[in-house]
Amino acid sequence: MDIFANVDSVALSARAAAWMESLDGPIGHDTTLTLLSADMPGAYRYLAQPKGTFPRWFAAQSGTLTVFLLHCTENIQMAERLWDGYSDVNFRGIYSTSNPVFQGNADAILARIDANGFAAPQQALIVGHSWGGAACFYLEKLLRARQPGLPTRIIAFGGPKPGGIDIDRDSSPDTTVRWMNVNDPVPGLPYPASALLNWTSIKRNILLARFNRMTQPRGGRNIDDLGNITPGVQPPQLTNQQILDFGAWVWAYSQSRVGPHSIAEYRRRLELYVFNHPTPADDSVAGGDWGVEENVPLLEAQRQQAAAVQNVFNREVGRAEADIRIPGPTLFTAHKNGRVWSVRFGGQLIAYGPTKRRARSMVRFGNEFLHRVQAQGVVDTAGLAAQFGAYLEAAEDPNGLFVPPINALVPR
Q: What is the mean pLDDT of residues 79-94?
A: 59
| Domain definitions of the chain by residue range | 10-274, 328-381, 382-412
**In which band, very low, low, confident or very high, does the pLDDT at 28 lie, cut at 50, 70 and 90?**
low
On the question of pLDDT at 242 being above 50, the answer is no
Q: What is the mean pLDDT of residues 216-222?
A: 87
On the question of pLDDT at 92 being above 60, the answer is no
More confident residue, 253 or 61: 61
Q: Mind listing the pLDDT tens digit for each residue in 346-375?
A: 888 888 877 888 888 888 888 888 887 887
pLDDT of 106: 86
Q: Mind listing the pLDDT tens digit for each residue in 113-154?
A: 888 888 888 899 999 998 889 889 989 988 988 898 888 999
Pick the CATH number of 10-274 from 3.40.50, 1.20.120, 3.30.70, 1.10.1060: 3.40.50
On the question of pLDDT at 376 being above 90, the answer is no
Whether the CB-CB separation of 273 and 229 falls below 8 Å is answered with yes
**In which band, very low, low, confident or very high, does the pLDDT at 328 lie, cut at 50, 70 and 90?**
confident
User: Quick check: pTM over 0.75?
Assistant: no
